[in-house]
Amino acid sequence: MILPSRRWFLVAAALAAVAPLAIWWPAAGVVWLTLDLLWVLAFLLDARDAAALPLEEWPVTREAPPAFSVGRTLPVSYTWRNTLTRPVQLVVREELPAPLDWPGDRTRMLLLPAAGTVLEELAFTPARRGKATAGLLHLRGLGRWGLAWRQAVRPLPWSVTVYPNLRHAAIRALPTQSQRRREAGQRTVRRLGEGRVFESLHEWVPGEETRSIDWKATARRGKLMVRRYEDERRQQVLMMIDAGRLLTAESEGRPRLEAAIDAALELAHSAVLHDDNIGLFVFADQVMRFIPPARGRRALRQVLDALATIEGRMVEPDYPAAFAYLAARHRKRGLTVLFTDVVDRTASDAVVAQAGSLRPRHLPLAVTLRDTALERIATRRPLHVEEAYERAAAEELLEAREGALAEMRPYLPIQNPANTRSNTSSRSTTPISPSSAATASCSWCAPSTTSPAPSSSSARRSAASAASMAARCRALVRRPPSPAERATPPKSRAARSRRRSAIPSPVWAETKE
């Protein structure tokens, strides 16, 4: 397509302005007509020159990062080459993929020197997640005299994936960064600790716990031998994300689903770093995505790709169908983390009825989101009648929510943080084997030994509650047999069964807020 330039229109408008002079001076009419014909001829000649520009196959390349992250600015470079023997002025307007699109004018102008190259760098800051393909370049090339434009479309495909915010989930989780760490010599090492996975035997030294003494190895070697354990690894961690209408609501200008996705990303990152198997299950009124738990870079990449494309739906979640699908597809025992939200007791009944069916095969955990904006409304001092009504409504909503959570806690451990990302990731390395379930509960609820003494009555009650929960967790730890019991083990199967029944079976303790 050939279009006149602004310069041609300005001169044509000037010639049209002097046309009335031909009424008083007939000779001026002949001059004006001649100038008009010459100006049109110049446009046609320049249009012929512009038509020769190979805009559909203009040599241009794009260098973009393999993936983007929400809120993180990354550069994209374009290399423009001019194979002609004259300078060329180009006007570029690009159709960007939806996650990278921004409002406003996206037109940019380039001046390419004769037989030269121009490097153009642009910075993109994605505002939302997603995956899309676009990349058409709408080009306009100016003729030699600047009187005519030629417009054409240059295909330059661009497939873009924008992941959730990875700054807080440690950008190292990306496969490219993991490859760089391995090239630098960093490796995943086993950590010795209070786990229940046997690692090795070593000679007992004063100060070590006697409960870890291996009496059979001691008898064979004639000296005290102690079992060394390491943290549990390769556990099954499945993240369930409710993409129904409850998580489509916004809190402080951000969808609640985004907070759940950030927390799930942090949990997946931590699980992979500790050599656990990580999986993903997304559902609403139907199953949207299921990734069986797996370990390694490939599993993390699959989870990242799935989290990048999750979109909330304005429908009621179908919990019975989702948990029935999960029971048929996921049979290995593991930790199942449900990211959802509740507003009243009716909604919590459906969650409890279905999540409770995961026991005793799985260890369920529910993660809900606090609405800090609603809490501020419920605690502020009203100055007008409208604010008083708003506070009353907010208090009623919070009371209904707390009532629903209170009904859920006896059946399902709940985490209800204001910032889901930090609270979930710090607990993502919890062991989930049956022998260490009580130890895992202690790591969730036991008070910190370095925290200062509580000063207020509410703080003292919280500390007492945490201490009580820690005592309950310690009571669930399987008591190791004493040296005398090891020396004289029960000889009959009935005696062994009676001994097992006397030992309390570990369960997954409820979590106190």
Q: How far is CA 249 from CA 158, 173, 182, 306, 500, in A?
A: 32, 29, 41, 21, 50
Q: How far is CA 437 from CA 196, 368, 398, 482, 506, in A?
A: 10, 22, 32, 22, 6
Residues 439, 403: one domain? no
Residues 141, 255: one domain? no
Q: What percent of the chain has pLDDT over 90?
A: 20
Q: Which of 398, 432, 466 is the last residue of a domain?
A: 432
Whether 455 maps to a domain, the answer reads yes
Strand pairing category for 74-81 and 117-124: antiparallel
Confidence of residue 249 (pLDDT cuts 50, 70, 90): confident
Whole-number pLDDT of residue 238: 92
Whether 257 maps to a domain, the answer reads yes
349 and 400 in contact (C-beta within 8 Å)? no
* Rounded mean pLDDT, 329-341: 87
Residues 268, 381: one domain? yes
Q: What is the CATH number of the domain that holds 151?
A: 2.60.40.10
323 and 357 in contact (C-beta within 8 Å)? yes
Whether 330 maps to a domain, the answer reads yes
Whether 199 maps to a domain, the answer reads no
Whole-number pLDDT of residue 398: 87
255: buried, middle or exposed (CB in 10 Å: 19+, 13-18, 0-12)?
Answer: middle
Asked if pLDDT for residue 234 goes beyond 90, the answer is no
Average pLDDT, rounded, for the chain: 76
Cβ neighbours of residue 427 closer than 8 Å, sequence gap 6 or more: 415, 443, 444
Q: What is the CATH number of the domain that holds 427?
A: 3.40.50.410
Tell me the C-alpha distance between 123 and 291, whole Å: 34
* Domain total of the chain: 3
Order of strands across the sheet that contains 117-124: 60-63, 74-81, 117-124
Residues 57, 181: one domain? no
Asked if pLDDT for residue 131 goes beyond 70, the answer is yes
Q: Which of 432, 455, 482 is the last residue of a domain?
A: 432
Least confident stretch, 80-89, 110-119, 143-152, 441-450: 441-450
Q: pLDDT, tens digit, for every residue of 136-167? A: 999 999 999 999 999 999 999 999 989 887 76
Residues 74, 173: one domain? no
Asked if pLDDT for residue 172 goes beyond 80, the answer is no
Asked if pLDDT for residue 98 goes beyond 70, the answer is yes
Outline where 309-370 has alpha helix (H).
319-329, 345-355
The range of the structural domain enclosing residue 41 comes to 1-163
Residues 28, 47: one domain? yes
Residues 347, 286: one domain? yes
Cβ neighbours of residue 217 closer than 8 Å, sequence gap 6 or more: 201, 225
Residues 489, 398: one domain? no
Whether 486 maps to a domain, the answer reads yes
Tell me the C-alpha distance between 271 and 277, whole Å: 7
* Rounded mean pLDDT, 121-128: 88
Confidence of residue 479 (pLDDT cuts 50, 70, 90): very low
Whether 201 maps to a domain, the answer reads no
Q: Could you tell me how many helices (H) and strands (E) the chain has, helices first?
A: 15, 19
Asked if pLDDT for residue 326 goes beyond 80, the answer is yes
Closest CA to 430 of 441, 422, 445: 441
Whether 368 maps to a domain, the answer reads yes
Residues 315, 359: one domain? yes
* pTM for the structure as a whole: 0.61
Least confident stretch, 155-169, 246-260, 415-429: 415-429
Whether 222 maps to a domain, the answer reads no
Whole-number pLDDT of residue 430: 37
Asked if pLDDT for residue 267 goes beyond 60, the answer is yes
* Rounded mean pLDDT, 307-320: 89
Asked if pLDDT for residue 288 goes beyond 90, the answer is yes
Residues 476, 427: one domain? no
Tell me the C-alpha distance between 461 and 443, whole Å: 19
* Rounded mean pLDDT, 356-369: 82
Strands (E), 284-396: 287-294, 335-339, 363-367
Least confident stretch, 145-149, 245-249, 375-379, 427-431: 427-431
Residues 385, 488: one domain? no
60 and 156 in contact (C-beta within 8 Å)? yes
Stronger pLDDT, 456 or 151, i.e. the higher one: 151
Q: Which of 432, 465, 481 is the last residue of a domain?
A: 432
CA angle 489, 493, 496 (to 5 degrees): 50
Confidence of residue 188 (pLDDT cuts 50, 70, 90): low
- DSSP single-letter state for residue 499: H
364 and 507 in contact (C-beta within 8 Å)? no
Asked if pLDDT for residue 513 goes beyond 60, the answer is no
Number of other CB atoms surrounding residue 79 within 10 Å: 13
Asked if pLDDT for residue 293 goes beyond 70, the answer is yes
Least confident stretch, 268-272, 309-313, 337-341, 507-511: 507-511
* Rounded mean pLDDT, 427-431: 37
Stronger pLDDT, 60 or 417, i.e. the higher one: 60
Residues 386, 444: one domain? no
